[in-house]
Amino acid sequence: MSIIENRDPARFSTRGDGDDPGLPVSLRTLANIRWVALGGQVAALLFVRFGLGFELEMSICFAVVAISAVLNVYVQVGRGAQARLSDQRAALFLAFDITQLSILLYLTGGLSNPFALLMLAPVTVSASILSFSSTVRLCLMVLIAATILMVWHRPLPWSGGELILPTTYVIGLWTALVIAVLFIAAYIWRVAAEARDMSEALAAMHEALSREQRMSALGGLAAAAAHELGSPLSTIAVIATELARDVPPDSELAEDVALLQSETGRCREILTRLSRDQALDEGSALNEAPLSAIVQTAADEYQRDGVEIIIERQGQLSEEEAGPPVAEPTVIMDPELLHSLRTLIHNATQFANETVEISVNWDGQGYAVIVEDDGPGFPIILLDRLGEPYVSTRAGQDGHMGLGVFIAKTLLRRIGGDLRFANRPEGGARVSVHWHRADSG
């Protein structure tokens, strides 16, 4: 059994721009960042020229800034402030910023200009919001630009003459910039990727819970229908009985009346079953049931040929518990609880060879559900990673994304449960959920 991280390759869209909220970044965000950068460039140019008295080629420098400003106005007006950019378009947007900054640095001293560190900004933005491939391309672009600026640039004016830095120092600046670009880009992209994974996993969790609640509502609707239909069906049954008594046995209607009675009885059985199921409503937050009954309900749909599911009520959770025996806990049938137990039982049946054993234990301190299978078990070195999003023992199979256990763990935590993973000494996996009575209410 191997656990593989499975990232969705289609996370970053390559479609055209539009208002699709699934696209990675809004135009407004990048445009505002560019406005801040242009404001800083103008302030720096004015300060250096008039504050420090350096002779810069102001007309060319301001022309470069103006071109960027005009382009910014054009894209904002032409595409709208609410538009979102695809990964490719956003990368082109940042590539232009790198080009514009490189031209300014070429005119103002190259890497000897302290503002050369601002070349890190587009790479940082890309690592935060764009795909890995786009970030790599922008990093390469910055490294190529830095290499060119190290060799070719206009000298930076200085009081008393041109500032000429030692070659060794300039190479050191280039090396520091390269290291900073690679480290910052890699670190920020990794952190941002984990945040995106967590966000998507939480969205999947809410969708699963919403689906469970819809199923609960459907069950409630069925029970309400059963209740409302009970009275008219009883009336039909009474009339059918009277007809059967009044119609002679040899009449042509006798067979029809008998069929009517039979179908009426069948309908009453169906309504009785619906009413009984409502007493163990899988998702109703208003009903309570013994913990073992909830486990049985969760396990029923996963019985399959070749794997036997055994449920045991073992009572005391700890042999050291003192005092008289404690009654089995009765708990609320939350959608979170049902969905989580189904996920854990389903996973166990997928890997079991012959049996899945589920034990329900309790004492005065708390209660637990333990799911064990006789399959291959968990890799020991990866036990501490189970429950993380996009970590799965079946990654890549039938579109499996590795979110099931993460969703179950998160939902159980919301209702006071503590999910634990281990391997049985005799082989196989053990997954247990523990509740403390004080926490679970």
pLDDT tens digits for 384-432?
Answer: 777 776 665 554 444 344 567 777 887 788 888 888 888 988 888 899 9
Overall pTM > 0.75: no
Question: Does 356 reside within a domain?
Answer: yes
From 110, 141, 165, give the residue that closes a domain: 165
What does the alpha-carbon distance between residue 345 and residue 394 come to, in Å, rounded to a whole number? 15
Same domain for 149 and 228, yes or no, is: no
122 with 38, same domain? yes
User: Is 293 found in the same domain as 237?
Assistant: no
> pLDDT tens for residues 279-288?
544 444 446 7
Domain that holds residue 229: 210-279
Distance in angstroms (rounded) separating the CA atoms of residues 137 and 83: 24
Residues 233 and 255 in one domain: yes
Neighbour tally for 115: CB within 10 Å = 15
| Whether residue 433 sits in one domain with residue 299 | yes
Query: Does 366 reside within a domain?
Result: yes
Q: Which of 315, 218, 222 is nearest to 275 (CA)?
A: 222
Same domain flag for 240 and 263: yes
> Are 294 and 336 members of one domain?
yes
Q: Quick one: angle between helices 335-351 and 291-300, nearest 10?
A: 50
Q: Are the C-beta atoms of 54 and 112 separated by less than 8 Å? A: no
93-102 pLDDT, tens digit each: 899 999 999 9
Choice between 63 and 211, residue whose per-residue pLDDT is larger: 63
Question: Are 292 and 272 in a shared domain?
Answer: no
Which of these, 165, 205, 142, lies nearest to 339 by C-alpha position? 205
Same domain, 227 and 305: no
Number of domains, the chain: 3
pLDDT tens digits along 317-338: 555 555 566 788 888 877 778 8
Q: Is the pLDDT of residue 140 over 90?
A: yes
| Cβ-contact 170, 146 below 8 angstroms | no
Own/partner pairs for 212-217, CB < 8 Å, 24+ apart? 212/283, 212/335, 212/336, 212/338, 212/339, 213/283, 213/335, 215/282, 215/283, 215/335, 216/281, 216/282, 216/283, 216/284, 216/335, 217/283
Helices (H), 47-86: 58-79
Boundary residue ending a domain (110, 140, 165): 165
Q: How big is the chain by its Cα radius of gyration, in Å?
A: 34
Beta-bridge mates of residue 18: 84
CATH number for the domain spanning 301: value is 3.30.565.10
Strand partners of residue 85:
25
Average pLDDT over residues 352-374: 88
Same domain, 257 and 315: no
In a domain, 184, yes or no: no
Residue 88 has pLDDT above 80, yes or no: yes
Specify if 205 maps to a domain: no
pLDDT of residue 129: 81
Name residues whose C-beta falls within 8 Å of residue 58's C-beta, 6 or more positions apart in sequence: 45, 49
Q: What are the tokens at 312?
A: 């045991």
**Count of residues in the chain:** 441
Asked whether residue 177 is assigned to any structural domain, the reply reads no
| 262 pLDDT more than 60 | yes
Q: Which of 230, 247, 279 is the last residue of a domain?
A: 279
Give the DSSP letter of residue 304. Answer: B
